[in-house]
Amino acid sequence: MLLDADDCQLVLIDYQTRLMPVIFENEIVIANAMRLARMARLMDVPIWGTAQNPDKLGQNLPEIQAAIDSAGGKTMAKMNFSAASDGLIEWLRPPVRKPSQGGNARSLPKHLQKPAEPEDEGRSMIVMAGCEAHVCLLQTALELLEEEFDVWVVTDACSSRSERNRDAAFDRLAGNGAELVTTEMVAFEWARTCEHPAFKELLSLVK
């Protein structure tokens, strides 16, 4: 299954000022997170951010937060390691729309009633990246999988304080059904064709 930009949302987990300096390969991780955010804006993919206990770990890096803000996204301050436990699922799923039948619709015979409109299930593909991979990213991803979202983890935009913990997170995520991808894989799957209007800009971001 390929990523579909029209069915995707991007979640950036905890790229925070007091955390990132101690993250393994932090410069690569930050650069790829920025690419993802810019790609999401180009492709009209909704983008969300989280910040774990920001009073202690600081806010997200200014450039990450600016990219989220410029795409019209929101950032959740959280205390649980899993953002899903602090309300991320409600952000990712639109409110359930009640079918509208009109004032006297219920009194009509069933064959005269309008068929109920299908519920808007929203975008079910969640592209995720962040830190630490073995804690907040992992726990959020596993809970989203339990909620039957399709989860895609962008490995080169994720890390932990140690390489061992990062790799253990990727093993566990793959074993639980998450798709492991890279930033370039996301770019080319969102575009699908070199004729896409945004392809040249996408290409300039990944080169």
Q: Does residue 111 have a pLDDT over 60?
A: no
Task: Give which of 167, 184, 206, 160 is closest to 26, Cα–Cα.
Answer: 160
pTM: 0.86
Sign of CA dihedral 170, 175, 181, 186: negative
pLDDT at 50 (0 to 100): 98
Share above pLDDT 90 across residues of the chain, in percent, rounded to a whole number: 78
pLDDT at 121 (0 to 100): 62
Q: How far is CA 114 from the centre of its chain?
A: 36
Domain boundaries of the chain, sorted by first residue = 5-93+119-206
Q: Which has the higher per-residue pLDDT, 112 or 27?
A: 27
Single-letter residue type at 146: E
Reported as a pLDDT band with limits 50, 70 and 90, residue 118 is very low
pLDDT at 8 (0 to 100): 96
Q: How far is CA 19 from the centre of its chain?
A: 20
d(CA 92, CA 46): 9
Q: Does residue 95 have a pLDDT over 60?
A: no
Q: Does residue 103 have a pLDDT over 50?
A: no
Each residue of 18-63: pLDDT tens digit? Answer: 999 999 999 999 999 999 999 999 999 999 999 999 999 999 999 9
Q: Which has the higher per-residue pLDDT, 156 or 105?
A: 156
5-93+119-206 has CATH 3.40.50.12280 classification: no
